[in-house]
Amino acid sequence: MIEILVGSQMGAAEYTAEQVAEALEKAGYEVRLHLTPELTQLTRDSVWLVVTSTYGAGDLPDNIQPFADQLAQNGGDLTTVSFAVITLGDTSYDTFCMAGRTMAALLAQNGAKLLLPNLEINVLDADLPEDQALAWLPQFIQTL
């Protein structure tokens, strides 16, 4: 089971997550997409893929902030969870992809195991974020 946790303020990260979910399903994986992730709804013996944008001054999008707060306050034992992070950001800000780094740190603090370095997508690049995420996907699948 791959739990995809979405943090999206304007929709780009959500669209990217949907494209990734579709590709994973075509590759034979069972996927659940969470637009408002909650700790109690997630399978602990699984892989969590966070797909989030960075909003404002390095902030998490509104829909994933409560989940991050849950992790920060008492995420519990996540040692059976493996995870990866895809973050969308803008390199013209010094807080480029900070939301993804925040999520990775919170998951690791609760014992979750990072599968591979964060994919940090610059939304100013010519390639669309979803295309960059799909190009990265085989590397992610290899770690499963």
Predicted TM-score (pTM) of the model is: 0.97
Domain range spanning residue 68?
A: 2-142
Number of domains in the chain: 1
- Cα–Cα distance between 24 and 137 in angstroms, integer? 8
Nearest to 32 by CA among 47, 53, 15, 45: 47
Q: Given this model, what pLDDT does residue 94 score?
A: 94
Kindly list the distances between the CA atom of residue 110 and the CA atoms of 44, 72, 80, 83, 87, in Å, as whole numbers in the listed order.
12, 9, 10, 12, 20
What contacts 57, CB < 8 A, 6 or more positions away?
93, 95
Output DSSP code: residue 132: H
Run means of pLDDT, 10 residues per run, the chain, 144 residues: 96 97 98 96 96 94 97 93 97 96 97 98 96 98 96
Task: Report the CATH number at residue 126.
Answer: 3.40.50.360
